[in-house]
Amino acid sequence: MAILCKKTKKGISLALKGDLGFEEANSLLAYLKDHVDRPLTVDMSETESVDTSIIQLILAAKEAARKRGAALRLINPHELVMRVLFQAGFGAEISIN
């Protein structure tokens, strides 16, 4: 897994690459905690798979961002990632573009 972080005019952009599971959760958590106070875009175009620990982190970050007046959105999720999101019942809770 790789996490690429960029500051943009609209906030922060995180690009997630590879397979994301429990082993990668702590690294992702650190990035999310550091940037949840501003608009955050998570690009999942190169994310091949996720497990529920990653989905739970994204949901928790979305709620933390909302409480701080910011937003979190996912962009370009791979079809397999979308399937996991919807099978886990989280598709409607995450803003996906």
Q: Where are the domains of the chain?
A: 2-96
Yes or no: is domain 2-96 CATH 3.40.50.620?
no
Closest CA to 70 of 42, 38, 97, 24: 38
Confidence grade of residue 14 (pLDDT, cut at 50, 70, 90): very high
**CA-angle at 55, arms to 49 and 56, nearest 5°:** 150
Residues 5, 13: contact at Cβ < 8 Å?
Answer: yes
pLDDT in tens, 52-84: 888 889 888 988 988 999 988 888 888 888 887
Whole-number average pLDDT of the chain: 86
